[in-house]
A and B are shown apart, each in its own frame.
Chain A
Amino acid sequence: MTVTVRSEPLPHPTTLVIHMGAGAVESLVNAAVRNYGEYRTLTPDGLGAFAVSVFAVARGVSEVEIIEALPQRSFARSTVGAVTDAGFGLLATSIADVHLAPAIAAIQHVHFDIVLPALGDARLLEVDPIDDEALEAAVRHHLAPHADRLLAVFGPRQRQ
């Protein structure tokens, strides 16, 4: 899996973004830490980004197409403006993997990562937290309240 940043302006602030799943803080943090290695080189300071995967209802991709491309049984909506107004970064990113199922490969052009506030820990310059349990714990402790705040930016969870 390789994550690439698309060089494009953010969608209009009213554009819907979909976060899949029941919205568990622990799951969100776990994903951000587990996948950090793919985001280590994406920031100029070398500290990388802890990212939360969402999809925009934009560029001809409907909400139904997004939901059907993913196996989670629930999801929630927010908007680009609500996410950025809450102080979170938003990166246009695409995941490249030859083994991606066709349905999710087809919506990578509307995939975005919400960037959680950085942990300014110099250890991240050298070490991926998946390789260091003490650093992993520090990162999880830092990210949890931000993840909680991010989830509150989304509306109520809907069942598919």
Chain B
Amino acid sequence: MNETGAGTLLLLHPGDNVAMATRDLPAGLEVQIAGARINLVKTTPTGHKVAVRSIAAGSRILKYAVPIGSATCDIAPGDYVHTHNMKSDYIPTYTLEAGHRFAEETRS
């Protein structure tokens, strides 16, 4: 049990709704951060994002106090946040999985 998030999660701005793992963190880890107690839903690698409060589908994801995209479904505190539950508000993100899907779909 960590009371401040120090050594586990880094919250860049008090208004942010995601924090970043400062090292590889195991699923189930309990962290006290941003006035809440959250449990990590998934194993979270260094630098990856975890929701520190509830985020409704369609609302902004905030990091550095700036929107970095929008939630594509409801996100609960402790959820791992990445391409499966948020998207860019500018240009879609290309991942190799998407590339593979494209290759599958276009194979004649």
Question: Are A and B associated in one complex?
Answer: no
Residues of A within 8 A of B (CB): none
